[in-house]
Amino acid sequence: MHSKTTLSPLFIYAPILFSLLAISCGGSYEETIAGVKLPVPKGMNRTGDKPVEISLFGFGAGQATFRGDIEPEKIVEFYKKEMAARGWQPSMKLQSGGAMLAYTKENKTVLVAIGKEKTDTVLNLTVGGTGG
């Protein structure tokens, strides 16, 4: 005699719900600044239409600003992990209220500046370097 086993809806829907919550609570997206793809934490939104960029005699630079409601310490940890995973080498770290981090890879440098402005956290990403 076979007993019929049914799965509770909780067992079916719980993994789906937890997956959706995990996706919505973190993660990142990419922005291209001066030809360099950089990660930006979800929850940080770019101010302005597009990054400011200049190119002069083979030197290129760009800068973009983002605002959001993420604690500066969490953004610092995000960049330590994400930049290392993408092959960027840390070249400077300064923390005092806000933070300034610098990374290098090949012939490019990325400066990550994080600070508070009233209730918002402000993130400035600056890219500079030569060639491609």
Phi, psi dihedrals of residue 50, rounded to the nearest 5°: -150, 165
pLDDT given for residue 6 in this prediction:
54
Residues of the chain scoring pLDDT < 50: 7, 10-25
pTM above 0.85, yes or no: no
Phi, psi dihedrals of residue 96, rounded to the nearest 5°: -165, 90
pLDDT given for residue 1 in this prediction:
53
Q: Which domains does the chain have, with CATH numbers?
A: 28-130 (3.30.310)
pLDDT digits (tens, 9 = 90+) for 88-111: 999 999 988 789 999 999 999 999
Say which residues have a Cβ less than 8 Å from residue 87's Cβ, sequence separation at least 6.
105
Tokens of 124: 């400035």
Question: Residues 82, 38: contact at Cβ < 8 Å?
Answer: no
